[in-house]
Amino acid sequence: MRITNNIITYNFLTSLNKSLERQNAIQEQLSDGKAIHRPSDDPVKAIRSLRFNSNLTQNEQFTQNLKDAQSWMQTTDGVMSDLSSIMINIKELVVDASNGTNPEDAIKTIGKSVDNLINQVVTLGNTKIGDRYVFSGQLDKTQPFTRNGDVITYSGDNEKISMPIQPGATAPTRDSINLTGVDVFGAGGVEILNHLMEIKQHLDGGTKADQDWLKTTGLDYLDADHASVLQSQTELGTRMSAYDMALNIMQNQNVIITSDVAANEDLDIPRAIIDFKNSESVYKTALSVGARIMLPSLVDFLR
């Protein structure tokens, strides 16, 4: 086989270009610390990286859902605690009004205090997170409670708001984060409120018959209604505990998956620097050798 200057030049430039490509590839890796920039760099690691990042994205979405759910439930729990305190205050006032020693005027004054507490209950029932009403069910852009004189209406529904925290279809019993007006205030979302309004009306009456009613039926209403509020809050607390535990698990999984991604994608910097220096040395040596093995041409003599 006849070796010409063109063959020597071609072979030299091909090898030199491969060396330069290797040097450029290492430099690209060093620029951002990533070992993989395209599937051709390492097909096995590239597939593994896609799987890890897909799992991480899904976990991060569930983690955010959990945090949003916690915010919603913590707000609801705070309202339920305030509502419980108001129920206790109303009971104390009713006990005071029904002890048989107060004149009608004093009982009516207590009625005004209860009326103000009812307004506070309605205000609590209209609690919002951002622009969403907590107790409206899925009609969370609609104000749930409206008071017009002695009549209180509920405009929400009894549907659950779900925030999934794991793959698969959502389940209201597992994924619901809200209490509706019906959950908190009973049938139609106003049963407890109607009881409070009835108590207030008997306080406004102030008669002996009113006091007798308050001492029996009124206090029975308050005891049963307060127990119902506490039961709803307890059920909410159980879900909050489950979501707290799920959040801890999800955050731990995010740390593990992030570590897996880093182990799969991150560059071994010290080794890469050594490879780059070796590649650079090889490239410079190739240039030096090439200057010697490439024979001079007629053009060089004509200069």
Show the tokens assigned to 98: 């029904």
Q: What is the pLDDT of residue 155?
A: 95
Residues 201 and 225: their CA atoms lie apart, in Å, by: 17
Region of 118 (left: φ > 0; alpha: ψ -120 to 50; beta: rest) is alpha
Q: What is the pLDDT of residue 104?
A: 83
Between these two residues, 87 and 67, which has the higher pLDDT value?
87
Share of the chain above pLDDT 70, in %: 66
> In the structure, what pLDDT confidence band is assigned to residue 2 with cuts at 50, 70 and 90?
low
3-state secondary structure of 170: coil
| pLDDT (tens digit per residue) in 114-169 | 999 999 999 999 999 989 999 999 999 999 999 999 999 999 999 988 877 766 56
Dihedrals φ, ψ of 120, to 5°? -65, -40
CA distances from 197 to 88, 121, 138, 176 (A): 16, 11, 27, 30
Alpha helices in the chain (DSSP H): 5-32, 43-97, 104-125, 172-175, 181-185, 191-205, 208-213, 219-265, 269-293, 298-302
CB atoms within 10 A of CB 275: 17
Show the tokens assigned to 137: 């069910």
Check whether 91 has a pLDDT greater than 90.
yes
Q: Which residues contact 205 (CB under 8 A, 6 or more apart)?
A: none
Domains recognised in the chain with CATH numbers: 77-262 (1.20.1330.10)
Q: What is the pLDDT of residue 65?
A: 83
Residues 293 and 280: their CA atoms lie apart, in Å, by: 20
Residues 247 and 266: their CA atoms lie apart, in Å, by: 27
- pLDDT averaged over every residue in the chain: 80
Q: What is the pLDDT of residue 282?
A: 64
Q: Which candidate, 201, 220, 211, 204, places its Cα nearest to that of 101?
A: 211
Decide: pTM greater than 0.75: no
| pLDDT (tens digit per residue) in 270-302 | 665 666 666 666 666 666 666 666 555 555 555
Q: Which candidate, 124, 127, 206, 190, places its Cα nearest to that of 155?
A: 190
Residues 86 and 169: their CA atoms lie apart, in Å, by: 39
CA distances from 261 to 5, 85, 258, 298 (A): 50, 50, 5, 58
Q: What is the pLDDT of residue 225?
A: 95
The alpha carbon dihedral of 258, 260, 266, 270 has a sign of: positive
